[in-house]
Amino acid sequence: DAGITQSPRHKVTETGTPVTLRCHQTENHRYMYWYRQDPGHGLRLIHYSYGVKDTDKGEVSDGYSVSRSKTEDFLLTLESATSSQTSVYFCAIKSGRGDNEQFFGPGTRLTVL
């Protein structure tokens, strides 16, 4: 599993509430990514990080923020959850900028009612 965990694994919340998902890695990889996976859309990049305190937006970043205060943790926050953010969220890590092999976590299933 490349030492990557996600928490929580499942969450049900209500519209308008804040939600934070955590990605934790134990292998000191520099690059970390948050994706969402929805039927018909495959995996879409939300935000990514290329080092501590270094983050950037992906293709579907609206409504999401991230933080990386230490190498091992990458947090994804939905400031005010909406039903359109119901999805499965995957975290991924890789060592080098030129690497193609991203290691994915087990995913978090989020339902916003």
Binding site for other proteins (CB under 8 A): 31, 35, 39-45, 48, 56, 58-59, 90, 92, 97-107
CA–chain centroid gap for 105, Å, is 9
Least distance (Å) between residue 50 CB and other proteins:
9
Least distance (Å) between residue 16 CB and other proteins:
27
Rank residues 90 and 112 by Cβ distance to other proteins and give the closer one: 90
Rank residues 3 and 107 by Cβ distance to other proteins and give the closer one: 107
User: Rounded CA gap, 33 and 55, in Å?
Assistant: 9
User: Rounded CA gap, 83 and 14, in Å?
Assistant: 8
User: Rounded CA gap, 66 and 82, in Å?
Assistant: 17
Which residues contact residue 9 at a Cβ distance below 8 angstroms, ignoring those fewer than 6 apart?
106, 107, 108, 109
Rank residues 58 and 63 by Cβ distance to other proteins and give the closer one: 58
Least distance (Å) between residue 113 CB and other proteins:
21
